[in-house]
Chains A and B, each alone.
Chain A
Amino acid sequence: MNTSQELLIYARSTHWVKYIQKTLVYLLIACFGLALMPIALQLFSKAPVLASAVYFIGFTLFLLCHHLLFHLYFSEQMIDIIVTNQRIIYFDDYLFTCDDEHEIPLHKIAAVEVQQHGIIQNMLNYGILWFDTGGGSTDMKRSIPHVPQPDELAKVIHAQLQ
């Protein structure tokens, strides 16, 4: 691919809704860990060994969730949808665990399909963008999930296809 003539048309991060599920889980565990600490302090006069063990578990759980939360933000914060005048690039990376890069040349795209299912997706205006590259298969490898304002991106791609 000739990158010297390749120009950036569109660049965005996927929708913030991707953070919600994991953030809630981590916050819940962190709150549980934090709640163990005053319990441990109360227990100290009766059972010091048990109290230190409970505090240690709470402390470790809280710190673990803190790091996991920032791991999530660091991984998802970067721009992961890039459209140039030659191709579409979608990054599916997660620090230390996943480093996927999906690339679809524009000349291979026959059609772009926007999928927005359910109340939440329509209210928050995000959805799946699926690319028809021929062959008739509808596998989700040729799609981008959590696309914010997918209609707008579809228009941008359509404009490049013409």
Chain B
Amino acid sequence: MIDTIILSICIISLGICLLLSREFVKVSEKREELFEVFHGNMRSTKRSKSILIFVYVVLTLLFTIGLSIPLLYSF
């Protein structure tokens, strides 16, 4: 029972991570397109966007998997 709940939480957490990152990329790409229309340059924002997504994905994996291990093995 507890295994199923933990697995569900992990899947939901990773799903949220995927959805949020995808939405963020979509919205920022829309913003970049607008910038290109105005002949602007968004190079620095593109880099910070990639770093932010990377940190988010790594932390999500770390927290989701790392904190579910005690639930699986201790209880």
A-side residues, CB < 8 A to B, are 3, 6-8, 11, 37, 41, 44, 48, 51-52, 55-56, 59-60, 62-63, 66-67, 70-71, 73-74, 77-79, 82, 84, 89, 91, 93, 95-96
Contact = CB atoms under 8 A, between A and B. Distances in A.
Contacts of A79: 31, 35, 42, 45
Majority-rule SS of A interface residues: helix
A77 B71 contact: no
A62 B63 CA distance: 9
Nearest to A55: B71
A7 B39 contact: yes
Interface in B49-75: 49, 52, 56, 59-60, 63-64, 67-68, 70-71, 74-75
Contacts of A6: 37-38
Contacts of B17: 67
